[in-house]
Structure 1
């Protein structure tokens, strides 16, 4: 197994564990919110905000994880009609477009958002944490998607993975 494959597998394993932890935190938070509201007859304002931030992290980091595993949603009706050579070209084009999207929107745009919110010292409403830390998942996930795209392009070029799985 090559070094790139080992790193790829370790990053995916880390993401799996981290996403399960975030999801577990989200479930516990929502359960506490429901319990406190209906059993204790009191509501904690921080539980709703923590649930929102957990869902943001879960969604965006989950998208990066699914991109790395090549399990994201795709429509392949037209793609299935291509020859194998064209499938390879289209798969590489798709990975390049995904890379560019992750670079421009997620990495550069996300880094700009993080910088702006940290520079303006914006805090969340109830948890009072800097919003830049919440938004930091965007450039991080964008970076992961870019790395996964480069990895997939190299594998597609060497015919080591299915062109679109």
Structure 2
């Protein structure tokens, strides 16, 4: 889904640039729709990154802590903290979604809450992946 979103974003931007510079008419949705696609794509893609543990990290822990048992414990604690933080963020995102559902965007005339809905959806997806990491018997990270 994230790859489809990235392709759609690229197509939207190319179309907008073409319309603006070649035709001389910018579509009314040129600002809102690519932003909406970008936000949803980023948050849905982050679920896959969380599942694969491919998110950016400094990789300094193995240089500082030599013991694999201590690294495993720190990784497990990190997974638990991330799980809690993602659930808190999902709740806040859901509250914001409900609060803004009655507002509409300027160009697309769609509920603003649909944009903010990406936060709880993405965070719940990432939280499920973190829960899988916490419950897995092997190495955490």
Identify the TM-score tier after normalising by the shorter chain: over 0.9
8 Å contact 2:50–2:126 — kept in the other structure? yes
2 CA distance for matches of 1:56 and 1:90? 31
Listed one character per residue, the Cα deviations across residues 34-72 of structure 1 (whole Å, up to 9, x for unaligned) are 111111111112022111111111222222221111000
Unaligned ranges ≥5, structure 2? none
Residue of structure 2 equivalent to 1:149: 130
TM, length-normalised to structure 1? 0.80
CA RMSD of aligned residues (A): 1.3
Unaligned ranges ≥5, structure 1? 1-17
> 1:80, CA displacement in angstroms?
3.6
Report 1:62-141 matches (<5 A). 62-82=45-65, 83-105=67-89, 107-118=90-101, 121-141=102-122
TM, length-normalised to structure 2? 0.93
Runs (4 or more) in structure 1 with deviation over 4 Å come to none
> 1:113, CA displacement in angstroms?
0.6
